[in-house]
Amino acid sequence: MLLDEAVLHRHVGGPAVMKARLDKILSLMREERAAVQVIPYGIGAYGASDGNFSYLEFADTTLPGLVFVEGLVSHLYLERPEEFKRYREALDYLRDEALNPGDSAKG
């Protein structure tokens, strides 16, 4: 999971909620139920900073990959190979720029 650093600083629900949210993320990381990488402020603007998307690949190669793009008034499901490839490139870039999971947990 890739998280923009801003998400961790955005105040939602007060200090108790903020602490619970961070504790949950760290717990999932310790239990190895989630690999979390934080995209630090320092990288500046990046291509996927204007929206959320989920990139789904399946071990069963007979199933096509899927990108789910979450929008304010609508959502998109992208399956065409060129669209899937573009999101894969964005995801690879973000993983390269993000902190590794260990440094993300320390952050």
- Beta-strand pair 2-4/52-56: unpaired
Give the pLDDT band (50/70/90) at residue 107.
low
CB 82 within 8 A of CB 28: no
Q: By CB neighbour count within 10 A (0-12 exposed, 13-18 middle, 19+ buried), where does 85 fall?
A: exposed
**What pLDDT score does 45 carry?**
84
pTM: 0.81
Q: How far is CA 46 from CA 22, 25, 49, in A?
A: 24, 23, 6
Q: What is the pLDDT of residues 10-62, one digit of tens each?
A: 998 999 999 999 999 999 999 999 999 999 999 888 777 667 889 999 899 88
Instruction: Please name which of 75, 44, 33, 68 lies closest in space to residue 54, comparing C-alpha atoms.
Output: 68
